[in-house]
Amino acid sequence: KNEVEQSPQNLTAQEGEFITINCSYSVGISALHWLQQHPGGGIVSLFMLSSGKKKHGRLIATINIQEKHSSLHITASHPRDSAVYICAVFFTPDTGNQFYFGTGTSLTVIP
Amino acid sequence: DTEVTQTPKHLVMGMTNKKSLKCEQHMGHRAMYWYKQKAKKPPELMFVYSYEKLSINESVPSRFSPECPNSSLLNLHLHALQPEDSALYLCASSQETAGIGSPLHFGNGTRLTVT
């Protein structure tokens, strides 16, 4: 069974804190995506990566293919970062050409 | 602002009604998707269109009927829905079937309530 697990499920942080959200998956993948969903529904794609590390502003995403693990880091967190963060994995073609979504991490950043 | 436009934003319908959800993108993407999302759950894939042809139907009940009239438009026709079908319906698109080099672009969703 293809599984994508995220931790923690819920996270509350003080403004300015460094935040880490983790994602683990069970089998080989061709790409991993980090998505952000704000209250009200719209989903924004933050990163797509298949190896190494990517940085965009205060957000950093890393992936370790051998360990089947990815992390999303937020530096100097801000209340506007409050959202649900979803890890989505695109497994290799023999496991189906579609995304498998993690259950999401609900982040609340308190001023 | 999202580059994938969904209408309407909200829809309330009775179980005997027929309605349609619409999705539009002008990024030249050749893959389009319908997802259903219940509260506090991740999106669930419903349908995938690739080059205007239905390529994946995730065993969705026939009361949901997708249509892709052209490469920019994706519709979801609704008929005889049940209250448990109330959810956020998300449309997405990607350059090709999503994977390496093809990030997903999501619309803001249609929040559907079936009474």
Q: State how far the alpha carbon of A91 is from the alpha carbons of A58, A98, B8, in Å.
A: 28, 7, 32
Is B108–A104 a contact, with Cβ atoms under 8 angstroms apart?
Answer: no
3-state secondary structure of A80: helix
Query: Which residues from B are below 8 Å from A88, CB to CB?
Result: 104
Confidence of residue A93 (pLDDT cuts 50, 70, 90): low
Nearest CA in chain A to B36: A41
Please, which residues bridge with residue B25 across strands? B4
Residues B20-53: pLDDT tens digits?
A: 999 999 999 999 999 999 988 889 989 989 899 9
Is A48–B103 a contact, with Cβ atoms under 8 angstroms apart?
Answer: yes
Nearest CA in chain A to B110: A41
- Check residue B16 and report its DSSP letter: T
Structure tokens that stand for A36 in this block = 């952000």
Asked if B13 and B115 touch (Cβ cutoff 8 Å), the reply is: yes
Q: Do β-strands B18-25 and B73-79 pair in parallel, antiparallel, or remain unpaired? A: antiparallel
Confidence of residue B100 (pLDDT cuts 50, 70, 90): low
CB of A51 less than 8 A from some CB of B? no
E-assigned strands of A51-110? Answer: 52-56, 59-64, 69-74, 83-91, 99-101, 105-110
> In Å, how far from its chain's centre is CA B61?
14
Residues A9-40: pLDDT tens digits?
A: 999 999 999 999 999 998 777 789 999 998 87
How far apart are the C-alpha atoms of A44 and A38, rounded to whole Å?
9
Q: How far is A36 from chain B (nearest CA, A)?
A: 11
- Check residue A81 and report its DSSP letter: G
Is A30–B2 a contact, with Cβ atoms under 8 angstroms apart?
Answer: no
